[in-house]
């Protein structure tokens, strides 16, 4: 009886031990014994990879450069030339005075035929839209919904006016670019299409159709353009373009499109209202007329980058080929690799 009792106790203890075990059920997955690809980078593999990259990248680089070369671009740095001579030494007084005539006439010669659409950009230099306090000075909820027009806690210092909350509030909206451009060729006015110049996602999701400007630019210090209070923010595309802040201090923003061809040697008469104050911080303003290609505007950097990487890969491939032919090195025996000694899975590729 004692023997039977002890055996019963031992059986119970062993069964409880089994029940308490946390060891997972055996499988190749849990034991990390699944088949795996373990390539050996032999000279043949390395040379093939470099040659493939070079063959792919170099044609892309040439195609990008040729596409960029076909883009016709006119850049006019007008901010200094549009200041009268008597204000040359005090540009700030000129731009801040409401009594000075800020209309400026510029003549731009078209170097080559510019197929429509001709994109109009304004470019600002030394304007830090990426400054932390500037970027944070906005209220996204206010821009989206009329019910949130009083949510201006993040808009310092342009939060409220004596008449209530400012819509749209914040420094970004307050500093909206307000230079204007009119174009004519051979005494014929050119229309500027300012529709569809924004990202559809911005227009549809970030700016509400029931939100209208309110108390905007009503204070003593005017930062930039004023907005039409009868048009909802979702339709004020100049504002939407401006509110997408730039990452770098030199940036371009789309102003509109000219939807007629401009022929070579045409003289485009540009009437500029030079209103925007870049003189106080040493900034620059430029007007840019540009066509576009499949890679966008004129951009040599992309093509040069592809050519550089492709050329470097081909150079390395040729160097490895010469090195392998002049001073070959015998390959080691792959059976001595750690994963080949008693491993249950694995595939090795050797070229």
- 231 falls within a domain: yes
Please report the pLDDT score of residue 340 as a whole number.
65
Domain limit, last residue, from 291, 321, 336:
291
Q: Summarize the confidence of residues 147-154 as an average pLDDT.
A: 88
Count of beta carbons in the 10 Å neighbourhood of residue 224:
18
Determine the number of helices (DSSP H) and then strands (DSSP E) in the chain: 9, 10
- 14 falls within a domain: no
- For 16-39, b where at least 16 C-beta lie within 10 A, e where not — what string? eeeeeeeeeeeeeeeeeeeeeeee
Q: Are residues 217 and 304 in the same domain?
A: no
Q: Are strands 180-185 and 188-190 parallel, antiparallel or unpaired?
A: antiparallel
Q: Are residues 174 and 201 in the same domain?
A: yes
**Band (43; pLDDT cuts 50, 70, 90):** confident
Q: Are residues 308 and 165 in the same domain?
A: no
| Residue 82 domain boundaries | 72-291
Task: Let me know: does 278 contact 79? Beta carbons within 8 Å.
Answer: yes
Q: Are residues 114 and 166 in the same domain?
A: yes
Domain limit, last residue, from 242, 275, 291:
291
CA-CA distance, 262 to 92, in Å (whole number)? Answer: 36
How many independent structural domains does the chain possess? Answer: 2
Q: Are residues 343 and 273 in the same domain?
A: no
- 21 falls within a domain: no
Please report the pLDDT score of residue 11 as a whole number.
54
Q: Summarize the confidence of residues 148-171 as an average pLDDT.
A: 88
Domain limit, last residue, from 291, 314, 337:
291
Rg (CA), the chain: 34
- 11 falls within a domain: no
Q: Is the pLDDT of residue 173 over 80?
A: yes
**Band (219; pLDDT cuts 50, 70, 90):** confident
- Percentage of the residues of the chain whose pLDDT score is greater than 90: 57
**Residue 331 per-residue DSSP state:** P
Q: Are residues 255 and 318 in the same domain?
A: no
Per residue in 178-192, pLDDT (tens digit) is: 999 999 999 899 999
Q: Is the pLDDT of residue 1 over 80?
A: no
- 178 falls within a domain: yes
Please report the pLDDT score of residue 98 as a whole number.
83
**Band (337; pLDDT cuts 50, 70, 90):** low
Q: Summarize the confidence of residues 236-248 as an average pLDDT.
A: 94
**Residue 247 per-residue DSSP state:** S
- 150 falls within a domain: yes
Q: Pick from 249, 231, 251, 247: which is nearest to 239 by CA?
A: 231
Q: Summarize the confidence of residues 191-201 as an average pLDDT.
A: 92
Q: Are residues 39 and 157 in the same domain?
A: no
Q: Are residues 60 and 205 in the same domain?
A: no
**Band (4; pLDDT cuts 50, 70, 90):** very low
Q: Pick from 114, 157, 102, 58: which is nearest to 273 by CA?
A: 102
Q: Are residues 183 and 286 in the same domain?
A: yes
- 200 falls within a domain: yes
Q: Are residues 325 and 223 in the same domain?
A: no
Please report the pLDDT score of residue 30 as a whole number.
79
Q: Are residues 334 and 242 in the same domain?
A: no
Per residue in 68-121, pLDDT (tens digit) is: 999 999 999 999 999 998 888 888 889 988 889 999 999 999 999 999 999 999
- 19 falls within a domain: no
Q: Is the pLDDT of residue 38 over 80?
A: no
Q: Are residues 307 and 224 in the same domain?
A: no
Q: C-alpha angle with apex 127: 123 to 133, nearest 5 degrees?
A: 140
**Residue 341 per-residue DSSP state:** S
């Amino acid at each position: 009886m004692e023997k039977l009792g002890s055996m019963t106790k031992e059986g119970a203890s062993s069964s409880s031990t089994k029940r308490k075990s946390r060891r997972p059920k055996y499988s190749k997955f849990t034991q990390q014994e699944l088949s795996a690809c373990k390539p050996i980078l032999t000279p043949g593999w390395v040379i093939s990879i470099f040659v493939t990259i070079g063959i792919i990248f170099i044609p892309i680089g040439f195609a990008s450069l040729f596409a960029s070369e076909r883009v016709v671009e006119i850049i006019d740095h007008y901010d200094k030339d549009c200041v009268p001579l008597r204000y040359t030494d005090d540009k700030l007084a000129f731009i801040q005075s409401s009594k000075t005539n800020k209309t400026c006439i510029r003549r731009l010669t078209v170097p080559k035929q510019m197929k429509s659409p001709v994109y109009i950009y304004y470019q600002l230099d030394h304007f830090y839209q990426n400054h932390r306090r500037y970027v944070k000075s906005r209220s996204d909820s206010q821009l989206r919904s009329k019910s949130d027009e009083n949510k201006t806690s993040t808009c310092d210092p342009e939060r409220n006016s004596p008449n209530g909350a400012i819509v749209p509030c914040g420094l970004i909206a307050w500093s909206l670019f307000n230079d204007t451009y009119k174009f004519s060729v051979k005494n014929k006015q050119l229309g500027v299409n300012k529709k569809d110049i924004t990202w559809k996602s911005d227009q549809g999701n970030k700016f509400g159709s029931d939100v209208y400007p309110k108390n905007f630019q009503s204070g003593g210090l005017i930062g930039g353009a004023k907005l039409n209070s009868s048009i909802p923010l979702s339709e004020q595309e100049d504002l939407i373009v401006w509110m997408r802040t730039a990452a770098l201090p030199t940036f371009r923003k789309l102003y509109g499109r000219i939807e007629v061809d401009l022929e070579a040697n045409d003289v485009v008469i540009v009437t500029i209202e030079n209103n925007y104050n870049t003189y106080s911080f040493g900034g620059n303003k430029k007007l840019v007329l540009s066509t576009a290609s499949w890679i966008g505007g004129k951009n040599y950097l992309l093509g040069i980058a592809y050519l550089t990487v492709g050329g470097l890969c081909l150079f390395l491939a040729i160097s490895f080929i010469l090195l392998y032919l002049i001073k070959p090195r015998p390959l080691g025996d792959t059976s001595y690799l750690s994963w080949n000694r008693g491993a249950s899975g694995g595939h090795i590729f050797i070229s």
